[in-house]
Structure 1
Amino acid sequence: MDDTLDFHLLNDFQRDFPLCPAPFAELASRLGVAEKLVLGRLDNLRREGKISRVGAVFAPKRIGASTLAAMAVPPEKLEAVAAAVNRFPEVNHNYEREHRYNLWFVVTAASEGRLQATLGAIAQAAGYPLMPLPLLEEFHIDLGFSLAGEAKKNVAAARPVAPAQPIGEIERRLISVLQEGLPMFIRPFQLIASRVGSSESEVLGRIRRWLEEGAIKRFGVVVRHHELGYRANAMLVHDIPDDRVSDMGRALAEEPAVTLCYRRPRCLPEWPYNLFCMIHGRERGEVEATIADLRRRHGLESCAHETLFSLTRFKQNGARYA
């Protein structure tokens, strides 16, 4: 029973999470089990590292500011530099990848000014220059991860990334609490409301509006793929002509194997690539075969590309915008 329940909690509620005063009771009703069992299993999954949290996945640059960044670090100094980068709370993902640019991390902040200041401080603390690669156009970014292998749904039309809109103090407090994830409590939104100085109905209404506006990509269970057996992941990058990159990004985003897809700037002459895809699998050979198939079917064999497999996960947390 526990394995079946865990699968449904992990797979079915990454998106379709009930936004109501007693969401865990609603989950229990849908699954035909007791609310106490749902709370207990979710807490166990979190402690086992299979989920990072239950809550909001905010859209990049819709609230606050963020960027992907890379560094070329001598291999013998990589662990020390990664530790220096990890000390910044604004860094939420930090990976070693197979490339001359071998350290890749994501930085988020409350504003563009704070982001730029943080990037400067990171470069100074690390002792190496960094290459910022901000998001220009999103094709598929929601951190959802199907465990059943079904095709993705609701891939949005490609669109340029709009600047973040100003937010009020209550909203800033709400973001600060939500980025930690829902408390495992029978009335979690009531508890959050008490922390931010609002009402339960106002908190739920604000979350629903953020979802409708696209500031929140999805609300639900956020899984950790490595702990679920998907131990091979690669960042596939291509140099696509500018007049084709949006169409190609939209096409690749529709592929079930592609878990993230977006356009970022080239940084010539060191980095000529502008289209990024993430592909996960249980084994390296599986990912390599998937990449070869994607490139063949989408006519990308003549386009310059590189495949950067992840080697070491130095840090993986939820983004912190407040």
Structure 2
Amino acid sequence: MAAADWRERVDDVDARLIDEYQSGFPIRERPFEAVADDLGVTEADALARVERLHDEGVFRRFGAVLNPPVIGSSTLAAVRAPADRYDEIAAVINSYQQVNHNYRRDHEYNQWFVVTAGSRETRDEILAEIEERTGCEVLNLPMLTDYYIDLEFPVVNGDRFARESLDSTDVSATRISERAAGDLSTLDADLLLAIQDGFPLSATPYRDVADAVGAPVEDVLDATERLLADGCIKRVGCVVNHVVTGFDANCMV
């Protein structure tokens, strides 16, 4: 959908949902109640708006954004793929479910991808397999220091959003350990697995997740708060589709 199409249908309430709820979504059994109170609409209307924006492609998903370097291990990697084998090599790399991005770059290393695994050992095994299967040396660039990771997009009210985001952004460096921040409980692990692709779009998403993992909703709420505080979860909110909303490039230095 073209950016102009959905923007023509966005009202002030939609604009606030898009720009203010990319993070900070309430962690409570009926989160849309609190959002509705803040926006001055009904719970049903708040939920319906998120559903519509999701259906239109403005939101990729609703839920938690996980932090792989803390939970397990992830890395940015690259290969020098010969032009006549580029698609073949891409197909090999993309065959791994742990690969969640793969881009062509105008550089000596012309194929860049991200591997996210449950442990450093698994990650390194995948990289070694890719080297063996493709015959291409893999450049492995694991994150050493987190200066600022994760991104929220000033989609509708850019000036105000950018100003408020800058005021609240912590840009201090955080050293990333190759070890997880702590042993995950069975509930923590089950919960992270259940929510990695988003929460159900319902009035009671946490109860739905609790039913799926076979735990009381109170325990799921407590675990979500704890995982957020520990850094295993970066944020909870509506994840914006940056391409649909007009952000179509990134950069490296």
TM-score range, shorter chain: 0.7 to 0.9
Residues 161-180 of structure 1: pairs in structure 2 closer than 5 A: 161-162=176-177, 163-164=179-180, 165-180=182-197
Q: 1:2 deviation in Å?
A: 4.5
- CA distance change for structure 1 residues 71 and 35 in 2, over 3 Å: closer, same or farther? same
CA deviation digits over 1:248-302, x for unaligned, max 9? xxxxxxxxxxxxxxxxxxxxxxxxxxxxxxxxxxxxxxxxxxxxxxxxxxxxxxx
Partner of 1:93, secondary structure, is: strand
| 1:3 maps to which of 7, 10, 23 | 10
**Pairing partner for 1:160 from 175, 198, 211:** 175
Work out the percentage of aligned pairs sharing the same amino acid: 36
Answer 1 or 2: which has greater helix percent: 2
Confirm or deny: 8 A CA contact 1:55 1:182 kept in the other structure: yes
Task: Find the partner of 1:197 among 209, 214, 217.
Answer: 214
Give the partner amino acid of 2:31: P
Structure 2: gaps (5+ residues): 1-7
CA deviations on 1:148-203 (whole Å, 9 max, x unpaired) are 24143231421211220221222111010110101001111011011112111111
- Secondary structure of 1:143's match? coil
Question: What is the CA deviation profile of residues 69-96 of structure 1, one whole-angstrom value per residue up to 9, with x for unaligned ones?
Answer: 1111123433332232222111112222
Q: Considering only aligned residues, what root-mean-square deviation do their CA atoms show, in Å?
A: 2.0
Partner SS, residue 226 of structure 1: coil
- Shift of the 72–48 alpha-carbon distance from structure 1 to 2, 3 Å rule, reads farther
- Name the structure, 1 or 2, with higher relative contact order (CA <8 Å, separation 6+): 2
CA distance in 1, matches of 2:53, 2:128: 37
Q: Which runs of 5+ in 1 are unaligned?
A: 238-322
Matches within 5 A, 1:239-278: none
Distance in 2 of aligned mates of 1:11 and 1:83: 36
Map residues 1-322 of structure 1 onto 2, 5 A cutoff.
Answer: 2-4=9-11, 5-147=13-155, 148-149=158-159, 150-151=162-163, 152=166, 153-162=168-177, 163-164=179-180, 165-235=182-252, 237=253
Name the one with the larger strand percent.
Answer: 1
Structure 2 counterpart of 1:265: none
- Give the count of matched residue pairs: 236
For normalisation by structure 1, the TM-score amounts to 0.68
Q: Aligned-pair distance for 1:38?
A: 2.7
